[in-house]
Amino acid sequence: MGNILEGIVNHKINRRNFLKASAIGAASLTLPGCSSNTLTKAGADAAIANNEGEWITAGCWHNCGGRCLNKAYVVDGVVVRQKTDDTHPDSPDYPQQRGCHRGRSQRHQVFGADRIKYPMKRKHWEPGGGNKELRGKDEWVRISWDEALDLVAAELKRIKEEHGNKSILGTSRLLNFYGGGLVRWGSSSSGAWGVVQECMTGFFSWKANDRPDWRNAKLIVMWGANPARSNLGNPTYNLLQAKKAGAKFIFVDPQVSPSVKTLADKYIPCRPGTDTALLLGMAYHMIEHNLQDQDFLDRCTVGFDKDHMPEGADPKENFKDYVLGTYDGVPKTPEWASKICGTDPQLIREFATEVATTKPVIFNSSFAPARTYRGQQFCQAFLTVGWMTGNVGKPGSGVWTMNYAANQGYGGKTLVKGGGRGLPPAVNPLFPDATYGAYDGYRWANPTNPDANGMAYCETYDAILKGEYTGTGGRGKVPCDIRLIWLVRDGSGYNFLNQSSGIHKGIEAFRKVDFVVTNDTVLSSISKYADIVLPATTEWEKEGKIYQGNPEAIFINQKVTEPLYEAKTEEWMDRELAKRLGLNPDEIYPITEKQQFFNSLAGAEVIGGDGETYESLVTITEKDIQEWGVQGKPQLGKIALNDLMAQGVYQVERTAGDSLTVIQGEDFVKDPAANPLTTKSGKLEIHCQPLSDKIASYGLTTVPPIAMYEPPLDGYEDTFEDWQSKKKGKYPFQLVTIHYGRRSHSVFDNIPQLREAYPQDFVMNTRDGEALGLKDGDTVLIESEYGKCIRPLTLSETLMPGVVTLGEGAWVEMDEEKGIDKAGATNVLCGARLSGQGEEPWNTTIVRVEKYAGEPLKPDAQWAQRIIF
């Protein structure tokens, strides 16, 4: 194999020969250390030196929170090297948008030996649900595209005619035109933050001040945040600039994470799911010593004390009296909090004093502490305690949650953005708000809509197995009969069987329905349990797309290579299926994929000189339109189309003190009456009845209108058989499912190099492990009420005692006989528990640990890839 590839690449690469060689040597490429990266180094260097190819901007399309530049050197259709941003000199004000190790592994994903090469069906599959129990166990056989599409269309028709559209779980443009399907709704990444911020602040996302303003802070609190692992790219670099400017960092976390090691001046340990107790203990100390900013609370908030309650609220429901224990008899002292959260009472007092007396402070949380059962209580408490300090609406200050994909710039206004692709909306008749094309993407529905048909993420498997789900709009239980699971990739590689709680139950549910169809690039967990799998292109094999989210830059993903093997785009599949279903594909997709890409470029905008209005970004000539073969009009902009395509990125240069800086809430804080928020009271709502009412309307769990600590299901208290005597119970450890360097959620878990660099180790406190007679490297059995897995053990003092961690996203490898997952897929351990607004309660999970009696695990990098020849 080595001689074949070296011969090809050391000369001029021929695409056809490369694919032939790849097919011959696919098995060899699965060996540890054997990849095109090592085999073609000399040839790649020579090709670049001789200018045999070109650098093309190649999308890094995964849902990782980073927005970075990724370029591929392409020689005759083959990617021989990757690089990241070198379009301008790097500086703190104008940083290069540099990619991470995952993005730089992208070519091993696109050109991997485990790519699905042709349509496949299960060997023993029969139309109508025959041999469904063999899903995940059966062999695969190759079929033609015509046969695959005929079978998929026939099953879709049959199930629609016999059982109706409500028997279909899934949504896509095609399905929406065919009558729609049931929608899965809820909150995964952001936990309980969305509705809380919407109701308490008046904005769905109460954005952070923009990146340069963070350097004005004297203190930055990072609560449950680990950007050095969770948000690769520039976030940690940007935070380092604030540190260099003099900001002190305090981290609150159950683990001394890489971010703590990199940035922290002080570390506050806190057990998972107990953050609300810690915050209440801080509030008690602040109230006891009159450290709160009473002027700010009186002017800008409602609900802090009995004299400033919203209209119609019971004065006894004020936050201050709850903290003092005026009515319930339980003062929320630091000592009270410490018994729950594990933080020393004196450390709670010092932390509260420092946060309350330092000006200005950025009080910032990640999503992780809100990915808990009834996570709204944490969000309520976090905002309330932050507002007690008065650090709102001023330079270097703020109280917010991290703004996810925008975190490369950390907030502020969007300075450059792509245009719409131009497809008309495709409304799902069964869930009208779930519309494709409304914003040239997918807009999640309002699940309180009484006309919506669908279930929360955590209820999907029960809906299939039990035949009912919790209806939106207070309808109670709604009967259902789900017969078909329709899983069309959206380009992000979303994999709900692997990435939703309760995998054991999920496998059972997948084996109950009549038909499961997926399209995929590799045999991921969800496709492994399908009946028919259609080979999909990656983003590198499509016409192109603008990637945005970073408020200061957009990235132009271009076609890097023609579709490999028999892979097709999702749009091509939809059009071919539409013909078989009696639909007009030109109504579903009235414009070509190239026209869609062109429209997004032509409609791109950049902030104008006034810092408020937007103007066209791209200059387009009549020649450009003719060369692209699309419809359009010439226009003037900031950069020529060909230059933008060659550069691959457009970034707005920042300078210290420029006119683009945004201070969130500045006008409101200066004059709340003249600049009211869109909350019911017009102010920040510490007592928020609309929040309580909206969560109740979901029909899952309820929350009070102020922040109160209620022990969560499967939380710290449940690790005890008896709370009063502190006798430990069956599941004595709290599991935190962390973002992991190897993957972007479940994506990249199949890349051999990343498997070697990031073993999927289970980590626990050294003293806990020694007490159980465990040592480093042991294979351990981890068990919860919901499932079991095995993993190699790492002992470390970086974790609080009683806390264990495992990286989320590993591809489940179920030992069917033993009922044990060998890969360490965390959703085997995390149960599907309904909570609040449908947030996944991953970080309230309890487990027990013991040495595994079976054969020790081999390192993951030595596992065979899922290759179908």
pLDDT tens digits, 250-284 = 999 999 999 999 999 999 999 999 999 999 999 99
Residues forming a β-bridge with 435: 427, 443
Q: How confident is the model at residue 472 (pLDDT cuts 50, 70, 90)?
A: confident
Which residues are CB-neighbours of 112 under 8 A, at least 6 positions away? 29, 522, 750, 751, 865
Q: How confident is the model at residue 14 (pLDDT cuts 50, 70, 90)?
A: very low
CA atoms within 13 A of residue 303's CA, in its CB half-sphere: 29
What is the 3-class SS of 780-807, one letter each residue? EEEECCCCEEEEEEEEECCECCCEEEEE
Q: How confident is the model at residue 368 (pLDDT cuts 50, 70, 90)?
A: very high
How far is the C-alpha of 256 from the C-alpha of 262, rounded, in Å?
10
Which of 862, 687, 2, 18 lies closest to 310, judged by CA?
687
Mean pLDDT of 495-506: 92
Q: What mean pLDDT value characterizes the chain?
A: 90
Q: Is the pLDDT of residue 340 over 70?
A: yes
DSSP 486-523: EE---SS---HHHHSS-HHHHHHHHTTSSEEEEEESS-
Which residues are CB-neighbours of 651 under 8 A, at least 6 positions away? 87, 88, 94, 97, 416, 552, 553
| Sequence-ordered alpha helix ranges (H) in 164-268 | 173-177, 193-201, 227-230, 235-244, 258-263
Which of 273, 232, 287 lies closest to 711, judged by CA?
273
Which residues are CB-neighbours of 787 under 8 A, at least 6 positions away? 502, 503, 504, 819, 821, 828, 829
Mean pLDDT of 493-505: 86
Confidence at residue 446, expressed as pLDDT on a 0 to 100 scale: 59
Q: Is the dihedral of CA 819, 823, 827, 829 positive or negative?
A: positive
Q: How confident is the model at residue 286 (pLDDT cuts 50, 70, 90)?
A: very high
Confidence at residue 490, expressed as pLDDT on a 0 to 100 scale: 45
Beta strand spans in 658-715 (E): 684-685
Q: Is the pLDDT of residue 155 over 70?
A: yes
- pLDDT (tens digit per residue) in 624-634: 999 999 999 99
In this predicted model, which residue has the larger pLDDT, 670 or 657?
670
Residues forming a β-bridge with 684: 301
Highest mean pLDDT: which of 26-30, 81-85, 401-405, 620-624?
A: 620-624
Confidence at residue 732, expressed as pLDDT on a 0 to 100 scale: 98
Which residues are CB-neighbours of 612 under 8 A, at least 6 positions away? none
pTM: 0.93
Which of 276, 210, 220 lies closest to 245, judged by CA?
220
Cβ atoms of 337 and 343 closer than 8 Å? yes
Token digits for 830?
A: 């995390």
In this predicted model, which residue has the larger pLDDT, 188 or 698?
698
Token digits for 804?
A: 């264990």
In this predicted model, which residue has the larger pLDDT, 850 or 487?
850
Q: How confident is the model at residue 572 (pLDDT cuts 50, 70, 90)?
A: very high
Confidence at residue 451, expressed as pLDDT on a 0 to 100 scale: 76
Q: Is the pLDDT of residue 617 over 50?
A: yes
Q: How confident is the model at residue 18 (pLDDT cuts 50, 70, 90)?
A: very low
How many C-beta atoms lie closer than 10 Å to residue 337's C-beta?
A: 26
- pLDDT (tens digit per residue) in 507-540: 999 999 999 999 999 999 999 999 999 999 999 9
Q: Is the pLDDT of residue 419 over 80?
A: yes
How far is the C-alpha of 524 from the C-alpha of 748, rounded, in Å?
10
Q: Is the pLDDT of residue 821 over 90?
A: yes
Mean pLDDT of 436-453: 53
Which residues are CB-neighbours of 194 under 8 A, at least 6 positions away? 187, 204, 205, 837
- Residue 301: phi and psi, rounded to 5, are -135, 165
Q: How confident is the model at residue 408 (pLDDT cuts 50, 70, 90)?
A: low
Confidence at residue 203, expressed as pLDDT on a 0 to 100 scale: 75
How many C-beta atoms lie closer than 10 Å to residue 73's C-beta?
A: 21
Q: Is the pLDDT of residue 63 over 90?
A: no
Mean pLDDT of 326-351: 98
Q: How confident is the model at residue 37 (pLDDT cuts 50, 70, 90)?
A: very low
Please tell me the least confidently modeled range out of 46-55, 441-450, 456-465, 726-735: 441-450
Angstrom distances, CA of residue 749 to CA of 118, 527, 585, 760: 22, 14, 35, 10
Angle at CA of residue 82, ends 547 and 67, nearest 5°: 25
Q: Is the pLDDT of residue 853 over 60?
A: yes
Beta strand spans in 304-388 (E): 361-365
80, amino acid identity = V
What 8-state DSSP symbol labels residue 679? S
* Domains located in the chain, CATH noted: 2-110 (no CATH), 120-188+416-587+641-651 (3.40.50.740), 208-411 (3.40.228.10), 716-862 (2.40.40.20)
Confidence at residue 234, expressed as pLDDT on a 0 to 100 scale: 87
Which of 156, 167, 174 lies closest to 436, judged by CA?
174
Confidence at residue 744, expressed as pLDDT on a 0 to 100 scale: 86
Q: Is the pLDDT of residue 745 over 70?
A: yes
Confidence at residue 35, expressed as pLDDT on a 0 to 100 scale: 37
- pLDDT (tens digit per residue) in 659-675: 898 899 999 999 999 99
- pLDDT (tens digit per residue) in 304-314: 999 999 999 99
Confidence at residue 65, expressed as pLDDT on a 0 to 100 scale: 63
Confidence at residue 208, expressed as pLDDT on a 0 to 100 scale: 85
In this predicted model, which residue has the larger pLDDT, 239 or 204?
239
Beta strand spans in 803-856 (E): 803-807, 814-815, 820-821, 845-851
Cβ atoms of 84 and 103 closer than 8 Å? yes
